[in-house]
Chains A and B, each alone.
Chain A
């Protein structure tokens, strides 16, 4: 039902965009682009599943299709980006989503976008705390970097004093969750078709956001305000129906800052926010740096080092595991013809010393084919660390082969 409502609203927004397009067709000496990719994925878990329904091995196929129509003057554009995945085991992970379906109008300093869109805010690598507009497509990746399309009206004004943007969002999208067959899992089964909202209007509410961005020499800054419903649900086993927990989405007001200083090979980064949720004021921050050794040991490869500290005022009771943690990462780029990249990262919990490790490798095979391998595992898990100890048997390896057409 939720999904139908969403489709209805999305249809409304896209039909508005469509109407704009129809009006424009005569002026469009249309320039088309169509591109697509198809990815074959295998995931293998190192430990036998702790739940009855879960499996050791998962196979899946996903596709991303992108269509763009532009007028000659680049004033009007219609952009569509659709994603779909079919998973061998997990019914929830088999899903389709309109990542983008929008009309854009650009005139010198002004930009207007109507429809489903995707925007990113922030500067840090291990956590993206100020990035609030789009909901996470959590069945796609454990790093939370894959996002669902968000219906919105967005307008931006570029001036010599910086870029001002306003967002109106008529619909909240719940976070995707694995089905009972899915992994990695904490063992908790979360409903994917029922949600509880603090707002009286459930997911059909009016959300607003404002954003200001500017660059001053070595400094890039972003300031933002958000008034809507949280993207991060509260998972409380007390809200269970038929063995599934109903996620709860409270209202959220948030003010945030993200800034980076780029000083030679050093990138110094800060994301900070103050949020007002369930009558509580809380602060969160991520602070860190990135340093790159170019031309490592006389070769043409580079080695980047990233270190970040993640903090949440709520500490142990924060609804996420990154409340007092350090992230350390190495990125090795070969700068070869195949753009070979290796990424090693670890997040260490300073309260329990438990550690989550990820290793990723990427390499282009041909101009239309690329390969990536990812391994994620947990070590040194303290049984007192509730979030991490629930996923201690969920180490896995993922292989992806992507072909472009």
Chain B
């Protein structure tokens, strides 16, 4: 049975698969859209495995309908947690606006259960465990919700492959995904990921009334350690409010030697 599926998939993918992808991948056939969608999502996750840890900086540019701009700056540290039971651990430290500089957030992400989150308030030197129910709320007044910025393990969603179509110069798999975790602000998302490297290129977000709410586009992908692709610009437009938020990532570093103790409640008190 396994062999037969593999054979059918190979036939389906045909010439284009051989010419666009260096790695032979046997996706389930189009007649099995759920399995095919899940396989595409899983593949993009598997291809990024093994980064161990990363450090990066991010600038967030918020633009309202009058064209007024405000910016935020923050740094991220991420520790890869192997296995499929849990998501990654991350530490986010704010630099700007200055009234929140030094505020840091530690997250142990889980797949379907609520994440564990602690916030460090530097003026009081206080570490406060916070509720992670607030998935759909805006992050720092931006068009990104907390759930858009949290770790995106494929097991957090159910998937349905919709079609393959051209996206710019590339071909993309178009997959619909529905959040399986509680408290999401979305009924579904539709994501475009390219057929060569399985990188997210665009996501449409549909709100609780199933209306198109936001579109996120990914650009300026760069390759690290010959394996890990990172988009350096993310652009979110809210179709209802017409506000936009641009994220610009810089100074990505991988395998920097961070370990579990750098992601402890104790280390949160001296995060910088």
Contacts and interface: CB of A to CB of B under 8 A. Distances in A.
Interface of A: 33, 35, 37, 68, 70, 74, 77, 104, 106, 108-109, 111, 118-120, 122-123, 145, 156, 158, 163, 213, 215, 220, 260, 262, 264-267, 292, 294-295, 300, 302, 335-339, 364, 366-368, 370, 402, 404
Nearest to A292: B131
B265 interface: yes
A300 B259 contact: no
B246 to A, nearest CB: 14
A262 B129 contact: yes
A367 B137 contact: no
B21 interface: no
A82 B138 CA distance: 35
A227 to B, nearest CB: 22
A104 B136 contact: no
A335 B137 contact: yes
A336 B134 CA distance: 15
Contacts of B239: none
A335 B142 CA distance: 9
Contacts of A213: 265-266
Given A267-B131, A294-B133, A339-B141, A120 B125 contact: yes
Q: Is the interface of A mostly helix, strand, loop or mixed?
A: strand
Interface string B161-191: 0000000000000000000000101000000
Place the interface of chain B in its size category. Answer: 35 or more
A368 B96 CA distance: 9
Interface of B: 62, 64, 70-71, 96-101, 114, 116, 124-131, 133-134, 136-138, 140-141, 183, 185, 259, 261, 264-267, 270, 272
Contacts, number: 99
Given A106-B270, A302-B134, 13 more contacts: A104-B270, A108-B259, A111-B266, A215-B265, A262-B129, A267-B131, A292-B131, A294-B133, A300-B138, A335-B137, A364-B97, A367-B96, A370-B97
Contacts of B130: 262, 267
B124 A120 contact: yes
A335 B138 contact: yes
A158 B261 contact: yes
Nearest to B114: A264
Nearest to B127: A120
Contacts of B101: 35, 404
Contacts of B70: 337, 367
B129 A68 contact: no
Contacts of B126: 120, 122
Nearest to B96: A367
Contacts of B100: 339
Given A120-B126, A156-B266, A213-B265, A265 B97 contact: no
